[in-house]
Amino acid sequence: MRNSLESAQLCAEAADSKKAFDIQILDLRRLTYITDYFVICSGANTSQVSAIADWISHILAQADEHPSHVEGGAESSWVLMDFGDVVVHIFDEQTRIYYSLEKLWNDAPRIPVVHQSRELQRASS
């Protein structure tokens, strides 16, 4: 069983493999009890936002992790995926600028995204 940071990293890597950009992991553990980490990323358009969300869902399902709730979907400018300890926000560029979650959670430490885990490679093959 993976810890919440490992799950956040896997979400970020999955997003990266679908060409998401400006991927950030925010550590919220000392700021709120609602979740441990936010993974925030952007897609160029609503189709890419949807593809990123679908791929994250696929990769985490391979690890037997499923979101308890998903907001948004096909043709959405913002998809939120709630995995409990990790909440993933996938935005198109304009929506991300408008909501500015990084500014709202400015006190949250940023965690570097680690690329190309063996688990992602296994799940995507």
What is the CATH T-level fold of the domain 4-124, as seen in this structure? Beta Polymerase; domain 2 (3.30.460)
Task: State the Cα–Cα distance between residues 106 and 18, nearest whole angstrom.
Answer: 26
pLDDT at 114: 84
* pTM of the predicted protein model: 0.91
pLDDT at 2: 81
Contacts by 103-108, CB closer than 8 A, 24 or more apart: 105/26, 105/28, 105/31, 105/38, 107/31, 108/26, 108/27, 108/28, 108/31, 108/38
pLDDT at 104: 95
Domain ranges of the chain: 4-124
List, in order, residues 6 or more apart from 32 with CB less than 8 Å away: none
Token pair for 38: 């936010």
Residue type for position 74: A
**Per-residue confidence in pLDDT tens, the chain, 125 aa:** 689 999 999 999 999 999 999 999 999 999 999 999 999 999 999 999 999 999 999 999 998 999 999 999 778 899 999 999 999 999 999 999 999 999 999 999 999 998 765 555 555 55
pLDDT at 115: 73
